[in-house]
Amino acid sequence: MSATILGPSPRSAAEIGSELRREFDRALYAQYGTQSRPDPVLATLFHTLSVQIARVYDEAEHVFPAAVLDDLVGVLGMPPRLAHPAQTVVQFTRVDQRERITPHTELFGTTRTGEQVGWAPDESIEIAPTQLVFAAVFEEGRLHALSGARLPGGPPVPPGSTPLPAWEGPPALYLAFHADEAHLGGLGLYLDPAPGTVADALSRSPWQLLDASGCVHEAGMLRACAGRGGVRRLAWLDGGDEGSPPCIPRLDDGVYGAHVWVFPRVPAARRTCCTLPAGMADAARLLLPDGCAEALDAPLAWVRVPLPPGLHGVADAIQRVEVNCVTASNVEVWSEQVIFDRTGCVVSLAPEGRADRHVMAILGVTGEAGTAYTEEADVSAPLGHGRFRRRAGELEFRPARGATGRADGYAMARLALCDAERANGMEAGDVRRIGASLANTTAQVSNLTVTRGGCAPPPFAPARTRFAELLRTRERVVTEADVEITVRAFEPRVRGVRVESVAELHEGAVRRVEAVTAFLDPADFADPGAEVVRLRGQLQRHLQERAVLGQTMRVAVEYGWGGW
């Protein structure tokens, strides 16, 4: 079978060098009638020239078309694939006064090899001298004490269980706090761990602040919503919350995000406290250490979380409860001055000269005159405005020009960096230093969990494949073929795709949902348990943004080949 030649193959440097030598010999004989003799200097000159010409051939064949397609894909809005930071849960201890912790707070840890790794909280919380006094789960007629509670000025409450025959009904979580004058405002709570159905139930269930009589009231109802890094932010059911401040860069759900809960600011009118809820007093006192039966008689801030009927194993799923906690990710902000006369207008994105540090986002570029540069694709900015573009591991600048025509001599670029998989595997206690000084001088920090989830950018589909996906779907997901090519272009490690139309009940009405199942091989991931969770959320958001109005996309991830 003969092969069909679709076009000329790229010429190698050896072939170009041989042809140059032949042309030189032919020209020398025609001019002088003599044959050339071996000359090492001339051979070196021919070799150097042939290598440069071969590079031009290669760029014309591969680099230039790929660059053009990259520009087209970038303008059409194909999201780039970035590195993901590792995540952990940190706790602040020895807190003697209230203070706000934001994603700009720098935390540092040390790996087993002595390398320093930077961390930043995923969400804003308020650390305070708040103490968890009692934590218990009512389930199947029994009251189960959870680990993590400590009596004021006394010993910890040991795990235990006692019958509660006076109560019936579905399971519920009860938490009691000894708080300061700001009540539970901004408190970060860690439930370790709450996997699977228990975590989902805690996210869907209302959180309730009990009133002064120990009863549920409308003003104390809270609902959960997803925050940065997957953290569950609680908001008032009646909308009386200022919301979470915007954070840049955005972080996708991490492996520990669903285990951390952040309370909103609590207005003075809602700062209610009560004694033990009715019917629980006798059973709760039996779970306290000897001699501490009256420790819960003082008014405390009580929180109740009712869980769905039929849910089992809640007390076993929640191993402990900790306060003043928040997830932290391996994200650092790096500022670098680019002097155009010295480095040119194209610089490599390798801060500190390290290839294992990955750029997650370009937070901003500021010119010499203090004006903010815009992205190259922004058509609304004036022609002389400073611009930048990120492409193929490089950052390209177009210096701004003032009214006199003078161009900027330098620009300041602010980058968000992460160490990817290098930040994985740090044990509990390895993150233990606060970078910036806090007003709370006695506060200390320590991570409670092993750091997980960091990974380098996955291999991106070739520019031709990405451009074909955009061209075929027109940024719209309508048919089953559209879904499959969109999924494969977004994540090359997907081995198979299955699309089914199902019906589900939503707010009392039946709606159609497109159930997309992506099949993966766990061997393709360094940490499947952490990376796949994040991938599912990214893929669902990517498809939903391209879905037709009224169409709901639901993505599931399974291991295997799906019959392909």
Which pLDDT tens digit goes with each residue over 426-450?
999 999 999 877 877 789 999 999 9
pLDDT at 334: 83
To the nearest 10°, the Cα dihedral for 58, 60, 66, 71? 140
pLDDT at residue 192 in the model: 82
Q: What is the pLDDT of residue 274?
A: 92
User: Residue 298 carries which DSSP code?
Assistant: S
Residues 6+ apart with CB under 8 A from 97: 128, 129, 439, 440
Give the Cβ contact number of residue 330 at 10 Å.
30
Series of mean pLDDT values for 10-residue runs along the chain (564 residues) = 41 79 83 80 82 73 60 61 87 92 91 89 94 93 92 88 87 94 94 77 91 90 90 85 55 88 94 89 88 86 92 89 95 86 80 74 87 81 82 81 85 89 91 83 90 79 61 75 85 88 76 91 82 85 86 89 52
pLDDT for the residue 461: 55
For residue 126, what pLDDT is reported?
95
What CA–CA distance (Å, rounded) separates 555 from 57? Answer: 44
Determine phi and psi for 58, rounding to 5 degrees.
-65, -40
pLDDT attached to residue 499: 92
Neighbours of 470 (CB within 10 A): 18
Q: What gap in Å lies between CA 368 and CA 370, rounded to an integer? A: 5
Task: Enter the pTM of the model.
Answer: 0.76
Tokens of 561: 């080949």
Domain ranges of the chain: 13-76, 87-123+423-447, 130-323, 332-418, 463-559
Strand 358-367's sheet: what is its strand order?
332-339, 410-418, 358-367
Q: Which residues contact 290 (CB under 8 A, 6 or more apart)?
A: none
Q: What is the per-residue pLDDT across 478-487, written as a single tens digit (0 to 9) for each?
A: 888 888 888 8
CATH classification (class only), 463-559: alpha beta
The single residue listed with the structure tokens 């285990």 is 259
Phi-psi region of 336 (alpha: psi -120 to 50; beta: other; left: phi over 0): beta
Cβ pair 274, 299 in contact under 8 A = yes
Q: Is the Cα dihedral 245, 251, 253, 258 positive or negative? A: negative
The maximal CA–CA distance of the chain, rounded, in angstroms, is 116
Rounded Cα–Cα distance for residues 173 and 156 (Å): 19
Residue with tokens 């050896």: 14
3 state SS of 479: coil
Of the candidates 130, 160, 142, 448, which has an alpha carbon nearest to the alpha carbon of residue 303? 130
C-alpha to C-alpha distance for 281 and 490, rounded to whole angstroms: 56
